[in-house]
């Protein structure tokens, strides 16, 4: 590596995997990469651009070959997704199928083959990056019934990645001597053109602000003063001209007041974006305050005792809901037949009559007794149109 790493940095996972399945290399004058965690199936790191605003988390995957061996692979992104609030991309050879059509072979795809990957995607809210090229990224170089083609290589991004770099797509190129197709990220946007448009927009935006919305507080004060002057003149001597001037002054004051309110809202949002999303003490304090609002810090027990300890509160809540659902027992109380017989009971003849089968005559009698003329949902009335029913 000493002959290859001139100006290049690299990390690997030899400490976690004996054969070092994962290597990450980068140009040191363009990026700074910091390893955070590693395992036999992944390396998780932070990538920062030098002289650019690029900053994201990168997790490179090389999944084990069997479903059971990959179980620990899915636990890691599910755990990290709860704490990562910056753009995050996960890419590599997952060695797993996400959809039934991800494998082309004589052996059908089973639900167990896609279950873990699918559950991981659902729980982490990750999305697959847009791509183009051949659908299948790996094949076993066999022929006939022995040939297997699978889509194993993917790149996934969280919502923050999609919002910031949603224009980045993957191109699957020809595999050459490998059995995997290389994934090449490319931008669908002409960045030079984008920066030019952005520069023009910023200049136009600055000019518009200076011409139209500069000194907004002063404009509100002037509009309020003009309204007061007109209303004072109306108080001395009313006429239609002054009334029109008052209406016009009211509209101007309302216009500039609304603009002032909107500017204040934008400034407050800008403060949140600047201080909140940068993971600073401000953001931590806000999240802590929100968390405190969702906690139960005090509770009165069923015995009327004030509870402040979190453990005691938890036990009291569990006890309360267990009481609603009841508890298990070895013996259940039965009906006291002696007490039941003291009330009204059916005779043996009545019991036999209730258990006897229903006859056709009884059915006919019930139908003939219906005299409702209103049509039912089938648009027919219930009254038999052909006289009494004598047989079925």
Tens of pLDDT, residue by residue over 315-335, are 888 888 887 776 666 666 666
Does the pTM surpass 0.75? The reply is no
- Tell me: pLDDT of 264 over 90: no
Phi, psi of 391 (to 5 degrees): -155, 165
Q: Are strands 55-62 and 88-93 parallel, antiparallel or unpaired?
A: parallel
Q: 8-56 pLDDT, tens per residue?
A: 899 999 888 888 889 999 999 989 999 999 999 999 999 999 988 889 9
Q: What angle is formed at CA 314 by the lines to CA 311 and CA 318, rounded to 5 degrees?
A: 140
- Tell me: pLDDT of 257 over 90: no
User: Do residues 38 and 17 lie in contact, with contact meaning Cβ atoms separated by under 8 Å?
Assistant: no
Q: Residue 43 has what pLDDT?
A: 94
Helix (H, G, I), strand (E, B) or coil at 103: strand
pLDDT (mean) for 204-213: 68
DSSP tag of 3: T
Q: Residue 278 has what pLDDT?
A: 47
Residue that the structure tokens 């259940």 belong to: 332
**Cα–Cα nearest to 58, from 168, 179, 190:** 168
CA distances (Å), origin 186, targets 4, 25, 168, 170, 189: 25, 18, 5, 6, 9
Q: Residue 291 has what pLDDT?
A: 57
Q: Are strands 153-157 and 168-172 parallel, antiparallel or unpaired?
A: unpaired
pLDDT (mean) for 102-119: 90
């Amino acid at each position: 590596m000493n002959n290859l790493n001139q100006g290049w940095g690299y990390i690997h996972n030899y400490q976690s995997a004996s054969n070092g399945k994962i290597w990450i290399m980068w140009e040191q004058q363009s990026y700074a990469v910091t390893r955070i965690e590693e395992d036999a199936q992944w390396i998780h790191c932070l990538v920062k651009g030098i002289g650019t605003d690029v900053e994201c988390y990168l997790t490179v995957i090389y999944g084990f070959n069997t479903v059971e061996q990959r179980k620990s692979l899915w636990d890691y992104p599910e755990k990290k997704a709860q704490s990562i609030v910056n753009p995050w991309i996960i890419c590599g050879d997952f060695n797993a199928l996400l959809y039934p059509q991800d494998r082309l072979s004589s052996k059908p795809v089973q639900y167990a083959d896609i279950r873990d990957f699918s559950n991981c995607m659902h729980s982490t809210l990750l999305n697959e990056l847009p791509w183009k090229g051949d659908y299948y990224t790996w094949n076993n170089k066999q022929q006939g019934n022995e040939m297997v083609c699978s889509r194993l290589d993917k790149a996934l991004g969280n919502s923050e990645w999609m919002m910031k770099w949603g224009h980045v797509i993957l191109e699957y190129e020809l595999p050459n001597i490998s059995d995997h197709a290389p994934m090449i990220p490319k931008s669908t946007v002409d960045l030079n053109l984008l920066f030019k448009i952005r520069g023009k927009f910023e200049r136009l935006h600055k000019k518009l602000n200076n011409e139209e919305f500069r000194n907004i507080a002063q404009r509100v004060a002037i509009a309020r003063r003009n309204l007061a002057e007109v209303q004072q003149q109306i108080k001395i001597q009313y006429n239609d001209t002054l009334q029109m001037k008052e209406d016009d002054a009211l509209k101007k004051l309302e216009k500039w007041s609304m603009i002032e309110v909107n500017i204040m809202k934008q400034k407050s949002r800008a403060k949140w974006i600047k201080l909140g999303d940068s993971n600073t003490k401000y953001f931590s304090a806000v999240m802590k305050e929100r968390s405190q609002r969702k906690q139960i810090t005090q509770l009165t027990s069923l015995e009327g005792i004030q509870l402040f300890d979190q453990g005691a509160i938890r036990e009291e809540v569990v006890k309360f809901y267990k009481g609603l659902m009841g508890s298990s027992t070895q013996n259940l109380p039965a009906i006291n037949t002696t007490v039941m017989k003291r009330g009204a009971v059916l005779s043996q003849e009545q019991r036999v009559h209730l258990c006897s089968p229903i006859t056709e005559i009884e059915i006919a009698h019930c139908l003939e007794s219906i005299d409702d003329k209103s049509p039912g949902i089938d648009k027919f009335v219930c009254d038999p149109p052909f006289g009494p029913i004598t047989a079925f």
